[in-house]
């Protein structure tokens, strides 16, 4: 009887322990969520000098994830691409300074607001003419596309008589102002304050306009567990004082960019590791996609000169469709258009492969057609088959003709990798944008990137010329 009691006691204890484990989210492997963000929107999200993701949004998200027992994998796709990623199901949610509006509520479920926004006007630091909205008549003002600032400008355009320009990124917005392409810009007041604190020659005009609140967003009707966890964690952050501590870190006491990054040498010295990483991804994208494109392009190129009409028709349709779609649209379709998740790098490789293969197919067709037709006719009259003639006579000559064009196409593919940044691949240009967002040093940063491309492409071109001489 005693043994039975002991056994029963152990079973009860075991069941109690298992029940505790089952009810404790901290014990089992934490669920990981894919969260989209925009890493060029300081002080809400950006990378610091150590290439760590920081900012108001990022710190709040990580603090909530830690408190609620889940993991996050940040996907720095940019604001517009993050919206598409959530809507297509590629992302579980997004946090990117996203204003809560009635229009967006039709497609998204939002958390409780975590920041009350407000937009403000800024002009060049030495501008003494514009002191209020009334002085904007006849002038050009600007904001970032798709933002609350852009909406504010559209709503008040008739009232104040200005014209509007929109830009995709903050650095383009600031450069437009400092180069006098526009006379005033509008953005969220913390963003402008951060830019001024980091050396942008701007000054704020007037008081901030009351704006919408920012919220964490998920696709409407989905990921309610994640949304509830965010709300619960946000409430705890505010109660503990951690929330205000995060806000003060980036708005009240945010330090300006290190003076060592205000020079060309200092910027290069502080950022060369991340620039090399971006360059490596650029070259990886170009080499892998071009190798695949060469295989696909040669196959379709041979189809285009095949005596079989069906193969020629298929090739013509493939080339026309791929070349007729802008590559940025193609990248968006491949990354967001499928019901399953495609990694950004893989989507970039597929996009570049499809685009380059269509042009390579035409290069192959043109190279083969450049060989005098009489050689094909002479070979066939001697009894050689079509395939044998192509293999032994036509293609060797065509290859020599095509080599310069192939080299040129590789250079084009290398440059085209910059377009892939729209789906969040941190290649060289996207890396530069991230650096600019933190340092506000757009001129030096893009000069460094231009020099890197110049060195790489010039080197490749010279190697190709030597190869061309050997083959000729």
What confidence tens digit (pLDDT) does each residue in 331-371 have? Answer: 989 988 887 778 889 999 999 999 999 999 999 888 888 77
On the question of pLDDT at 28 being above 60, the answer is no
Q: How far apart are CA 253 and CA 202, in angstroms?
A: 19
Percent residues over pLDDT 90 in the chain: 47
Give residue 227's pLDDT band: very low, low, confident or very high (50, 70, 90).
very high
CA dihedral (410, 415, 421, 426) positive or negative: positive
Q: Average pLDDT of the chain?
A: 85
Rounded to whole angstroms, the Cα distance separating 447 from 458 reads: 16
Nearest to 298 by CA among 382, 384, 238, 357: 357
Distance, CA of 446 to CA of 429 (rounded, Å): 8
Do 406 and 257 meet the contact criterion of CB atoms below 8 Å apart? Answer: no
How far apart CA 128 and CA 135 sit, in angstroms, is 11
Average of per-residue pLDDT across 177-205: 88
**pLDDT attached to residue 132:** 93
Output the CA torsion 128→129→134→139 (10° steps): -120
C-alpha span between 278 and 89 (Å, rounded): 27
Query: Which one has a higher pLDDT value, 246 or 461?
Result: 246
Residue 25 banded pLDDT, cuts 50, 70, 90: very low
Closest to 318 in 3D by CA, of 297, 332, 348, 336: 297
Global pTM reads: 0.72
Q: In the Cβ-directed half-sphere of 280, how many Cα atoms lie within 13 Å?
A: 6
Question: Does the CA dihedral 64-66-72-75 come out positive or negative?
Answer: positive
pLDDT band at 15 (very low <50, low <70, confident <90, very high): low
From residue 172, alpha-carbon distances to 119, 143, 153, 406, 447 in Å are 18, 10, 18, 34, 15
What CA–CA distance (Å, rounded) separates 219 from 221? 6
DSSP state letter for 89? T
pLDDT category of residue 197 using cuts at 50, 70 and 90: confident
**Residue 163 — pLDDT band, cuts 50, 70, 90?**
very high
User: What's the confidence (pLDDT) of residue 24?
Assistant: 46
53-54 and 184-188 as β-strands: parallel, antiparallel, unpaired?
unpaired
Residue 14 has pLDDT above 70, yes or no: no
Angle at the Cα of 327 (from 325 to 330), degrees rounded to 5?
Answer: 70
> 352-387 as b/e, with b when 16 or more CB fall inside 10 Å?
bbbbbbbbbbbbbbbbbeebeeeebeebeeeebeee
Length of the chain: 472
> Which of the residue ranges 55-59, 207-211, 243-247, 275-279 would you say has the lowest mean pLDDT?
207-211
Q: Is the peptide bond before 43 cis (omega within 30 degrees of 0)?
A: yes
d(CA 53, CA 85): 20
pLDDT of residue 21: 45
From 315, 318, 256, select the one nearest 48 (Cα to Cα).
Answer: 256
Task: Give 399: exposed, middle or buried? Use CB within 10 Å, 0-12, 13-18, 19+.
Answer: middle
Do the bridges between strand 140-144 and strand 108-110 make them parallel or antiparallel, or are there none, so unpaired? unpaired
């Amino acid at each position: 009887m005693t043994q039975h009691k002991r056994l029963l006691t152990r079973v009860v204890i075991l069941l109690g322990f298992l029940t505790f484990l089952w009810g404790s989210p901290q014990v089992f492997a934490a669920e990981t969520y894919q969260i989209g963000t925009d890493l060029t929107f300081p002080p809400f999200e950006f990378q610091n000098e150590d290439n760590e993701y920081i900012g108001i949004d990022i710190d709040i998200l990580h603090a909530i994830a830690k408190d609620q027992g889940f993991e996050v994998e940040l996907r720095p796709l940019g604001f517009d691409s993050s919206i598409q990623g959530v809507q297509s199901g590629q992302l579980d949610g997004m946090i990117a300074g996203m204003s809560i509006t009635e229009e967006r509520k039709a497609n998204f479920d939002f958390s409780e607001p975590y920041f009350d926004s407000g937009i403000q006007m800024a002009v060049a630091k030495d501008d003494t003419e514009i002191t209020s909205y009334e002085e904007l008549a006849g002038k050009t003002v600007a904001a970032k596309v798709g933002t609350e600032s852009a909406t504010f400008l559209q709503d008040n355009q008739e009232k104040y008589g200005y014209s509007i320009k929109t830009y995709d990124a903050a650095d383009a917005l600031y450069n437009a102002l400092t180069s006098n392409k526009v006379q005033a810009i509008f953005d969220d007041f913390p963003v402008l304050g951060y830019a001024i604190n980091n050396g942008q020659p701007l000054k704020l005009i007037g008081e901030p306009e009351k704006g919408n609140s920012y919220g964490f967003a998920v696709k409407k009707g989905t990921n309610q567990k994640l949304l509830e966890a965010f709300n619960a964690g946000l409430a705890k952050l505010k109660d503990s004082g951690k929330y205000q501590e995060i806000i003060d870190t980036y708005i009240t006491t945010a330090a300006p960019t290190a003076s060592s990054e205000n020079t060309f040498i200092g910027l290069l010295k502080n950022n060369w590791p991340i620039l090399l990483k971006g360059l490596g991804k650029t070259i990886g994208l170009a080499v892998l996609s071009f190798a695949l494109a060469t295989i696909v392009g040669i196959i379709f190129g041979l189809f285009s000169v095949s005596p079989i009409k069906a193969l020629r028709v298929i090739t013509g349709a493939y080339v026309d469709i791929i070349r007729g779609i802008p590559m940025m649209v193609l990248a968006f379709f491949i990354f967001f258009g499928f019901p399953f998740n495609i990694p950004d790098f893989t989507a970039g490789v597929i996009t570049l492969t499809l685009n380059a293969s269509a042009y390579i197919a035409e290069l192959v067709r043109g190279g083969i057609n450049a060989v005098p037709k009489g050689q094909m006719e002479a070979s066939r009259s001697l009894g050689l088959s079509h395939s044998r003639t192509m293999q032994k006579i036509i293609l060797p000559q065509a290859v020599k003709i095509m080599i310069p064009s192939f080299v040129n196409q590789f250079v084009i593919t290398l440059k085209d990798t910059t377009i892939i940044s729209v789906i969040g691949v941190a290649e060289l240009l996207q890396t530069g944008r991230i650096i600019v967002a933190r340092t506000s040093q757009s001129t030096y940063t893009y000069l460094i990137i231009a020099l890197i491309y110049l060195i790489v492409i010039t080197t490749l071109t010279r190697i190709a010329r030597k190869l061309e001489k050997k083959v000729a």
